[in-house]
A and B are shown apart, each in its own frame.
Chain A
Amino acid sequence: MGYEYIGITVLWFFLYGYLIVASVDFGAGFYAYYAKVTKKDHIMNQLISRYLSPVWEVTNVFFVFFFVGIVGFFPDSAYYYGQALLIPGSIAIVLLAIRGSFYAFENYGSKDNHLYMFLYGATGLLIPASLSTTLTISEGGFIEESANGVRLLYGELFTSPYSWSVVVLAIVSVLYISSMFLTYYASKANDQPALEQVRKYALFWSSPTIIASLTTFIALSQHNPEHYQKAIDLWWVFGLSVAFFIIAVLLIYVKRFYGWAFVAVMLQFFFAFFGYGASHLPYILQPYITLTSGATNETMGITLIIAFIGGLCLLIPSLYLLMRLFLFDADYVKGNK
């Protein structure tokens, strides 16, 4: 296996990590605001803020890690994506900036500011929508290269059923993953009223999630038959994903093993995400960048992998400590610390 395969696999892991932690974070922000509007905030907000406060910055780093890594391993992606994504990228930056800073303003500064809560909740849904544009354009057909440089074809993007189905999928998945996590967290905190509430959300968002996944598949078959065919060849991966989806929803439905239910959700997205990624290869950006043509030189590729291993030796124990102190410390979760 070449270093470029290791590179893309590592990056894909980080993007998957971001997908999970950011979904929990984005969805929680939305639910916190929704609870405030529907006057249920006394039930849920304590729970949400206890989880989110120590980890919001870590979530952001997963994202930074991915985009720094992809430019490092595949410098050509800086050229193509950089030129094409000026407007959507800038909008995503603005949304992320507003969300991150207003979270801190609200949490450490002026509690219960309605405007801050609104910005926090609304951006939680808009960010996944804007970031998913990147995955959409990687399928090809939305970018045009000429002597004047690279252009994003907005007309194509906004009229494509595929791009809209990706946006819908991104939003409903965020709400689904987040409510599944909060259900687990509420059961751990032994917080019955909150548990009742988020369990309902989890069950509610499960059907749109699976429907949107299927719609995206169908739209992909129209937009990029070649990619669709490769995905069909990997049918068993997507089959596993659906199986874990069923397990997760059943466990929540019978109100047992909430922790395992969330593990099943993680596996559901793991298989779907890696199946998607594997069938996308060899293209990073169709048809301009492939895994081998776009990869950085070998020296840098190997150095990055060494740096990566070194970094993980530092990160994994620290992340473990963070989780021990906040996520899996029963007293903390229950609000006694």
Chain B
Amino acid sequence: MFFDDPVLMSRLLTSLTLVFHIIFATVGVGIPVMISIAELIGIKKKDQHLQLLARRWTRGMTVTIAVGVVTGTAIGLQLSLLWPNFMQIAGNVIALPLFMEVFAFFFEAIFLGIYLYTWDRFKKPIYHWLLSIPIILGSTMSAFFITTVNGFMNTPQGFELDGDTVSAISPLAAMFNPATPTKVFHVVSSAYLTSAAILATISAVMILKKKGSAYHKKALKLTVTATFIFALLTAVAGDLSAKFLAEYQPEKLAAGEWHFETEEGADLVLFGYLDENNEPQAALKLPGALSFLAHGDFNAEVEGLNETPVDEQPPLWIHYMFDLMVSIGFYLLGISALFLLFWKVKKWNEENRWLLWGIAVSGPLAMLAIEFGWIFAEEGRQPWILRGFMTVSEAATTSDHVGLMFILFIGLYTILGSGCITVLRKMFKNHPAEAEFENRYPDEAAALKEGDQ
């Protein structure tokens, strides 16, 4: 039975942990940036609403960071527990970025503790804001280091392998492998984008529920502007990633695009399904667009999947993951641009219900796009764990009971997930921003009320 197969169960358990961890890792990288921006603008403009925004986001973030830390510890240990053969070989080459990731994490942990407990300890608020910089550095650097490890698994280099013996090691070459630049760019920009979109969702929902005060309106403008900027960056990163794939991992791009024959002027296939002859049906085809995506030229030649041996081809269903990720990316860019347009044109109302609904769904969609993108990236290099060197089935543990551990971890993530939601709801539902604002800044709150009348 598949439940007793350590290879399959190791894959499932690793996926389970990563799918869960990525939610918290993504917001852990992006939300500190948003907090820092809100606090800085708040201090510069002497706007207490924005400073309160930074405080409230920080409070929520502590809970998600806690879950991110513990699930990150889990994946760190599971690497050795579930993939001992892989770690024995690859550990020789990628120990450096793993090690440095922990340093970055250490740095972030220290300053996060300080940031959280020093809101009112400095005479000048800008000193407190300065503490957010090492947090951003730490979280973004740990994303950088860990992404280089994933890049290495996609385009391994910097070593020679003879049986079980690794030699001619160059730690820096392994770290700065061809996949690193585009992967890091894409991971970091999409983490910023997703965090901005999630915070925009919260603001939009609050306004839709008619609890929208000046606080929420300012939050909405800030977060949607950030969403727009980060969506633009992510689109550029995505385009560069596709060009990278065309050059270094053509089989991943070909499987993702259902592109079988090598040809010039290749079409981009959107959605649809495959018939028994592996012909895309009911799909939208953009002539020459795949060539353009891959090489920046509508007539360029794109390598097809048939060039890859059958037993080294990734599964074809990753096509849907690719399409969903890209569609959501364009949706986020479009909806945030629309909001900015409505805001700038004086006659139009940017708090139009339809527009708010469009923004309200953008956070969850962005998180789904992160998951789809990672599933595409990871399934797209099957059957390899180290592309060209080691397959997934050679790397897995031979221990029994991986199936049991899978059930144990489903239980754990259920508890962590529901605990996180319960606590976050309690934190914000029972303590609305308006009440906290009056409490913390009674003079400003009174002045604002005067102004309204």
Contacts and interface: CB of A to CB of B under 8 A. Distances in A.
Partners in one complex: yes
Given A82-B83, A318-B110, A322-B110, 10 more contacts: A55-B113, A60-B73, A72-B98, A73-B95, A83-B84, A101-B66, A101-B419, A297-B166, A307-B99, A326-B113
Contacts of A232: none
9 contacts: A60-B70, A73-B95, A82-B82, A90-B409, A109-B427, A149-B399, A318-B107, A319-B110, A322-B113
Contact of A68 (B78, B84, B99): B99
Given A102-B419, A300-B96, A53 B117 contact: yes
Given A58-B109, A64-B105, A108-B59, A83 B398 contact: yes
Interface stretch (A91-99, A169-177, A221-229): A91-99
Interface SS of chain B: helix, strand, loop or mixed? helix
A100 B80 contact: no
A322 B74 contact: no
Contact of B106 (A81, A89, A304, A315): A315
Given A60-B73, A100-B69, A101-B420, A54 B117 contact: yes
Interface string A37-65: 00000000000000001110110110111
A61 B405 contact: no
A321 interface: yes
Residue of B79, B83, B91 with highest tally of chain A CB at under 10 A: B91
B118 interface: yes
Contacts of A67: 76-77, 80
Given A101-B419, A149-B399, A82 B84 contact: yes
Interface residues of B, number: 75
B405 to A, nearest CB: 5
B401 interface: yes
A77 B178 CA distance: 29
Interface in A274-329: 296-297, 299-300, 303-304, 307-308, 311, 314-315, 318-319, 321-322, 325-326
Give the interface SS of chain A, mostly helix, strand, loop or mixed.
helix
A149 B7 CA distance: 14
Contacts of A322: 110, 113-114
B74 A93 contact: yes
A103 interface: yes
A65 B102 contact: yes
B209 interface: no
A206 to B, nearest CB: 31
Contacts of B121: 325, 337
B440 to A, nearest CB: 17
A69 interface: yes
Contact of B73 (A54, A93, A296): A93
B103 interface: yes
Nearest to A324: B114
A90 B73 contact: no
Given A60-B69, A105-B419, A71 B80 contact: yes
A81 B80 contact: yes
A125 to B, nearest CB: 18
A98 B420 CA distance: 11
A76 B88 contact: yes
Nearest to A74: B91
A78 interface: yes
Interface in B50-64: 59, 62-63
B69 to A, nearest CB: 6
Given A64-B76, A71-B87, A104-B66, A58 B106 contact: yes
B159 to A, nearest CB: 9
A64 B95 contact: no
A75 B79 CA distance: 12
B386 interface: no
A90 B107 contact: no
Contact of A61 (B65, B109, B402, B424): B109
Contacts of B83: 82
Nearest to A146: B398
Interface in B399-426: 399, 401-402, 404-405, 408-409, 412, 415-416, 419-420, 422-424, 426
A201 B111 CA distance: 32
A68 B98 contact: yes
A216 B89 CA distance: 36
B67 interface: yes
B397 A299 contact: no
Contact of B91 (A72, A89, A307, A337): A72
Contacts of B107: 314-315, 318
B43 interface: no
Contacts of B235: none
A307 B101 CA distance: 11
Contacts of B398: 83, 148-150
B409 A94 contact: yes
A57 B109 contact: yes
A79 interface: yes
Contact of B88 (A53, A78, A87, A314): A78
